[in-house]
Amino acid sequence: MNKLRFFSILAVLLLLVSLSAFAFARPNLERARENFDNAREKFLNAKEKFEDAKDNWLQIREKWQSQKRTQDRNEFLSKAQNYMLRSTEHLINYLELTKARAEKIDELPEADLNSITAQIDAEIAKLEALKARIQSTDSNQLSSIAAEVKAEWGNVKAFSKKIVGLILAANTSKVIAVAEKIGQKAEDKINALDANGFDSNAARQALAEFNAFIQAAKDKRALAVEKFLQITDSNNAQSLFKEGHDLLKEAHKELTNAHKSLKDIIREIVGLKKASKPEEPEDENESNNDQNEED
């Protein structure tokens, strides 16, 4: 392999580390982006209906509380039922938007995407069941369901924190996977040098450092996932999300260090290749010219 081709391959490896997010794009990504735009539009419409329903409920509640008329109470209950329906629909559309956002991230591994969307679908199913109960319940019996709707707001908020964390962790996993493949390629190069009698101790030491940084990144990513999976409600969502996010930041620092070690590996390999290249024989014409000048 000539030196120019060798440098070209190494440059590609470095590019893969810095641009690993584009390494494994999923098919139908354009459709996923269109679905996201549609989900966002539905979410905004549902949000507007929710806010209108809330305003109407607050107005009639104030009217009923001040005048205590039977007709105002009946209207209050009707508006309350509509408010609960719109609240539930708003939460459903928020989760649909979160799902669409995950699907349009091209670097998200398929297995992680399937896990995330399955969890979102399960949460949506719970809300759809709650919505059906609101629709079928007499307005005079809504007080118990109202408490459930309120609780779902906290649940969805916590659930969203967990899902965002898992998406971030999945992105980190993809970068780690690409780095591991690059590390294997570097090890193959070093083994080839060993087989040809080169002293590759310095390159192998740099590779050991590279692998140690990668393992540290994997360990911290795994700890982050544990934190995100522990999120169960609004009471622990914020603190656990922060702990998980901080661990992912540490994982990315380890990946940055691994990138530096990769540069050391490349420098050592290039140095060995350069040192092993035989000196080019002196050009005969140049030798004769030098002799003539001496004469």
Query: If pLDDT is split at 50, 70 and 90, which confidence band does 60 have?
Result: confident
The tokens 């969307």 sit on which residue? 117
Q: 10 in a domain, yes or no?
A: no
| pLDDT (0 to 100) of residue 273 | 75
Task: Name which of 67-71, 179-183, 247-251 the model is least confident about.
Answer: 67-71
Mean pLDDT of the region 271-275: 79
What is the torsional sign of CA 236, 237, 240, 243? Answer: negative
Q: What is the pLDDT of residues 209-231, one digit of tens each?
A: 999 999 999 999 999 999 998 99
Tokens of 61: 């509640």
Q: Is 202 found in the same domain as 112? A: no
Residue 288 lies in a domain: no
Same domain for 273 and 160?
yes
pLDDT at 121: 94
Mean pLDDT of 132-138: 89
Q: Check whether residue 136 and residue 177 sit in a common domain.
A: no
Query: Which residues fall within 8 angstroms of residue 139, CB to CB, at 6 or more apart?
Result: 74, 77, 78, 80, 81
Residue 18's pLDDT is what?
Answer: 45
Mean pLDDT of all residues in 135-141:
82
Residue 127 lies in a domain: yes
Does residue 118 share a domain with residue 175?
no
Query: What is the reported pLDDT for 27?
Result: 54
Could you tell me if residue 83 is inside a domain?
Answer: yes
Q: What is the count of structural domains for the chain?
A: 2
CB 169 within 8 A of CB 105: no
Residue 285 has pLDDT above 80, yes or no: no
* Closest CA relative to residue 17, chosen from 260, 267, 222: 260
107 pLDDT higher than 70: no
State the Cα–Cα distance between residues 157 and 135, nearest whole angstrom: 24
Task: State the pLDDT at residue 277.
Answer: 62
Q: Is 291 contained in some domain?
A: no
Domain CATH for 196:
1.20.120
Domain boundary among 141, 176, 191: 141
Which phi and psi (to 5°) does residue 183 adopt?
-60, -40
From CA 37, how far away is CA 252, in angstroms rounded?
Answer: 30
pLDDT at 11: 47
Residue 175 lies in a domain: yes
15 pLDDT tier (thresholds 50, 70, 90)? very low
Q: What is the pLDDT of residue 219?
A: 97
Same-domain check for residues 120 and 180: no
Residue with the bigger pLDDT between 24 and 168: it is 168
Q: 91, 115, 141: which is the final residue of a domain?
A: 141
Q: Decide if 111 is inside a domain.
A: yes
Give yes or no: residues 38 and 106 share one domain.
Answer: yes
* Residue 258: inside a domain: yes
pLDDT of residue 206: 94
Asked whether residue 120 falls in the same domain as residue 202, the answer is no
What's the pLDDT at 26? 53
Phi, psi of 282 (to 5 degrees): -65, 135
- What pLDDT is recorded for position 207? 95
Claim to verify: residue 167 and residue 92 sit in the same structural domain: no
Whether pLDDT at 92 is above 80 = yes
Domain that holds residue 88: 27-141
- Long-range CB contacts for residues 135-138, cutoff 8 Å, separation at least 24: 135/85, 137/81
What one-character DSSP code corresponds to residue 107? T
pLDDT, tens only, 165-211: 988 998 898 899 999 999 999 999 999 988 988 888 999 999 999 99
pLDDT band of residue 23 (cuts 50, 70, 90) is: very low
pLDDT at 279: 53
Q: What is the pLDDT of residue 139?
A: 74
**Same domain, residue pair 136 and 162:** no
Give the mean pLDDT of 143-162. Answer: 87
The most confident of 19-33, 35-49, 55-69, 132-146, by mean pLDDT: 35-49
CA 81 – CA 76 distance, rounded (Å): 9
Burial state string for 205-217 with b = 16 or more CB within 10 A and e = fewer than 16: ebbebbbebbebb
Tokens of 131: 């919505």
pLDDT greater at residue 91 or residue 278: 91
Q: What is the pTM of this model?
A: 0.69
Q: Are 110 and 201 in the same domain?
A: no
